[in-house]
């Protein structure tokens, strides 16, 4: 079977397996998206229906030991067909929920019951469509991780299990599904290495080099180090910084370093902002000060 044929077969298998659950998800997603977020349970119901859709899709694509069914090809060919079916499913749900949202707008417009946004303005047809698709579009990375996890011998069974109901028929929260699926990212982070640099004279300010390191124009310095100039930001906020190339670093080590630095910089920013305000407050005469309303009401 050609790649194109195996891809079409996988797409068709998912379409047939999820035809009914997809309809239920679309309806639940529209209800949750265009209704006030204060209505309890709607987003949970949409997430539950999505778990059904994904479970049925995966069961239509994989064997019980988490390999692509033989009719979709073996090895990389089979997994390519699985991902093609994933793409078709995801983008199909985006389109169907968006169109269903727009159809709901037309119905509400005729009935004179068009929803109002938080701004106080009536929602338009485009906003209805955007709201309706939010329950699938905001789960793009989760769905990516779910299907990515299926190729991991250590995670496939756990990911498939978390989306299936328990003995009482209850399903896991989407937060739990997300947490389990995200393990595949951490698994990769723990073993990967990346190219890094630091601005000249600032060794604690580590920069992740985006893209291929050989794409940068490096200059050999007298001390043996290599430097290049990187432009960061866009428009008026863009700036150039000369950086020193370092040895490749474990991604998990860089991640830990950057998170710690982020926390430190936030504290510094808070203190700086407070000092700036204190400078302005220090020149206000006592006669001009206006006390807070608290305690004087």
How many angstroms separate the first and last alpha carbons of the chain? 79
Buried b / exposed e across 18-47, counting CB within 10 Å, b at 16+?
beebbebbbbbbbbbbbeeeeeeebbebbb
Q: Is the pTM above the cut of 0.85?
A: no
Average pLDDT of the residues in 75-101: 96
Domain coordinates in residue numbering, the chain: 3-189, 193-282
Q: State both tokens at 272.
A: 């700086």
Neighbours of 60 (CB within 10 A): 19
Q: State both tokens at 269.
A: 């920013």
Within 13 Å and on the Cβ side, how many CA atoms surround 191? 5
CA torsion sign for 261, 263, 264, 268 is positive
* pLDDT score of 39: 56
Beta bridge partners of 169: none
Phi, psi of 250 (to 5 degrees): -60, 130
Q: What are the pLDDT digits (tens) for 223-274? A: 999 999 999 999 999 999 999 999 999 999 999 999 999 999 999 999 999 9
Q: How far apart are CA 57 and CA 136, in angstroms?
A: 15
* pLDDT score of 186: 87
CB neighbour list of residue 190: distance below 8 Å, 6 or more residues apart: 251, 252
Q: What is the dihedral of CA 208, 209, 211, 212, to 10 degrees?
A: -130
pLDDT band of 289, cuts 50, 70, 90: confident
Q: State both tokens at 126.
A: 């485009």
Beta strands 226-232 and 219-220, pairing class: antiparallel
Q: How far apart are CA 138 and CA 124, in angstroms?
A: 21
In the predicted model, is pLDDT for residue 89 greater than 80?
yes
**Residue 5 C-alpha from the chain's centroid:** 31
Neighbours of 127 (CB within 10 A): 18
Average pLDDT of the residues in 47-71: 96
Percent of the chain with pLDDT over 90: 80
Beta bridge partners of 220: 226
Average pLDDT of the residues in 92-110: 95
Largest CA distance in the chain: 87
The helix or strand, by DSSP H or E, that contains position 51, with its residue range, turns out to be: helix 42-61
């Amino acid at each position: 079977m050609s790649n194109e044929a195996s891809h079409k077969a996988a797409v068709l298998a998912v379409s047939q397996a999820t035809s009914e659950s997809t309809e239920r998800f679309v309806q639940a997603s529209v209800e949750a998206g265009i209704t006030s977020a204060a209505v309890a349970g709607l987003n949970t119901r949409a997430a539950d229906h999505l778990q059904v859709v994904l479970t049925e899709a995966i069961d239509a694509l994989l064997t019980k030991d988490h390999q692509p069914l033989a009719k979709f090809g073996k090895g990389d060919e089979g997994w390519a067909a699985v991902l093609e079916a994933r793409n078709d499913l995801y983008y199909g749900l985006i389109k169907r929920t968006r169109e269903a949202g727009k159809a709901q707008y037309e119905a509400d417009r005729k009935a004179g019951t068009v929803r109002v946004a938080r701004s106080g303005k009536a929602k338009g047809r485009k906003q209805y469509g955007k709201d309706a698709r939010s329950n699938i579009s905001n789960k793009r990375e989760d769905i990516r991780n779910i299907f990515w996890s299926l190729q991991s011998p250590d995670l496939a069974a756990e990911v498939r299990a978390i989306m299936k109901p328990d003995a009482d028929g209850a399903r896991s929260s989407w937060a739990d599904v997300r947490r389990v699926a995200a393990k595949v990212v951490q698994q990769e982070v723990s073993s990967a290495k990346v190219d890094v640099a630091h601005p000249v004279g600032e060794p604690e300010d580590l920069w992740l080099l985006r893209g291929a390191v050989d794409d940068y124009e490096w200059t050999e310095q007298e001390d043996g180090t290599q430097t290049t100039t990187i432009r960061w930001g866009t428009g008026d906020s863009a700036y150039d910084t000369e950086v020193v190339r370092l040895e490749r670093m474990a991604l998990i080590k860089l991640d830990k370093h950057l998170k710690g630095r982020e926390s430190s910089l936030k504290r510094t920013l808070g203190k700086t902002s407070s000092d700036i305000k204190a400078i302005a407050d220090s020149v206000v005469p006592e006669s001009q000060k206006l006390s807070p309303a608290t305690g004087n009401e």
